[in-house]
Chain A
Amino acid sequence: MEHVLSVSETRGRLTSLVQQIAERGGEVIITTRDEPMAVLMSYRAYQRWRKRQWSQARVQFEELLSSAQELIEITLEGSREAGDSDLYLFWHNFKPLAEELWQAALEVSEGHTLITSMLLDVTLMVLDGDAPLQPEHLAVLRRIATDLLPRPTLTADDAAQAHRLLVEGGLRTVFPVEGDLATLYEEAMR
């Protein structure tokens, strides 16, 4: 059951509220100036909620990943050589997918988040650049999308492997910076 209490009402009753919720379940919505600001729930309920969240995120992530894999496969089947316009359209169509993948990955795991964040950076850099478009770049993405990202758990080591694959495949994952970062930061803050 759901109760609504203000912060001041909660303050004096926190110990008994925690005990009550832990034993009988339910939720308390805590408000500040009548605005709902936080929720008090049992740790068991929180764990169930997190698990449900993770499962939903995982399903969404898998759906997005499958769309990304299909886009990569179709483009690889269609593009003949470097400089094919299919490759430009690919990166353009991949960008919103990469953004959604990264958003979904935030709920999946740190490794998934790191790798999808790299894919998004790479996509933005390819679109911002003016180097010839290469089909080999998509082969690297395919490897990451089929070998790494479908795994249920990914570690920082896996992210490092993805980074290596991207760099070896000629895809930069860091925006090129002219001058030192400290000066740039100072200029940006001025």
Chain B
Amino acid sequence: MSEDLRIFLDTTIQIERLTGTRARRAQLTAELTGKEIVTSTYVLGEFLRTLVKDCITLYTLVSQNVHLDDVEVQIANRFNKREASRCLLLWASLHRARAYGREKVLHTLRTYIEYGLVQAFMAGVDQVSDATDCGLARERPRQVEGTYRLRAQCRREVKECRLEEWLATYSAALDGAAPHLLASNEPGLVRIGELLGEFPHTPEAVRGRSCTWYLGDLIIALECPADAALYTTNRRHFGVLCAQLGKRMYERKTL
């Protein structure tokens, strides 16, 4: 098999590039060096509503608590496993940046929120495609009431992208994929299949939480250019989607 020269990064890899262990980050750098790196504004939107929003949560928690150990207790008690684990990854990257005291933590989080994370997202990226023209991807955190706010949630009644029109251009491929997704054992893939069934009658059904919760993986798989390999840690969903849509997945090298 020939070596992939163009690699499309999905959100999981973009997050791993920042929060992975030292060894994993070194491995990623080695894998991506010399390749043409592609990502998309939709991936950026997902990155904003996960890692950047988590950073805002941490900033708010730290600014509301005098002691950092209270922040850790709050993360453990109040947040679910998925959210707590992402916060913990960020917490680890703060320590990696030698931020231990409260003031230093707040300062580092501010730099992450205001430019650091988005800058790191763009690092080494040669092309950012903009197929969906997602309005939320253009949002950036703004300072309000001693913390930050980020408009990150898509709403069904507000049209601020070209997702419907863009998806319609793939109607034949999507019609073909829908029955296979509906037959899957994965609830997330079944939901994508259901939404594809609704799409021709109610195109707006793909907006709002459908877009941000369910259709993300499908959108990213479709965005991956024909001559690029999709790099993700979520092989469970993308394996099926890429097979159905005729896309290639990047095979992680053992270094």
Contact = CB atoms under 8 A, between A and B. Distances in A.
Interface string A62-101: 0000000000011101101111111011001100100000
A130 interface: yes
A88 to B, nearest CB: 6
Contacts of A89: 53, 56-57, 60
A152 interface: no
Contact of A83 (B78, B147, B153): B78
A93 B153 CA distance: 15
A1 to B, nearest CB: 44
A75 B84 CA distance: 18
B52 to A, nearest CB: 12
A89 B209 CA distance: 18
B142 interface: no
Nearest to A93: B149
A80 B213 contact: yes
Interface residues of B, number: 31
A83 B155 contact: no
A174 interface: no
A74 B147 CA distance: 19
B77 interface: yes
A172 B115 CA distance: 39
Given A85-B83, A89-B56, A92-B147, A131 B78 contact: yes
Interface in B108-150: 144-145, 147, 149
27 contacts: A73-B155, A77-B153, A77-B156, A77-B208, A78-B152, A78-B209, A78-B212, A81-B80, A83-B81, A83-B84, A84-B80, A85-B79, A85-B87, A88-B61, A89-B53, A89-B56, A89-B57, A92-B60, A93-B145, A96-B145, A130-B74, A130-B77, A130-B78, A132-B79, A132-B80, A133-B78, A133-B79
Given A77-B153, A77-B154, A84-B83, 18 more contacts: A73-B155, A74-B155, A78-B209, A83-B78, A83-B80, A83-B83, A85-B57, A86-B153, A89-B56, A89-B57, A89-B60, A92-B64, A93-B149, A130-B74, A130-B78, A132-B77, A132-B78, A132-B80
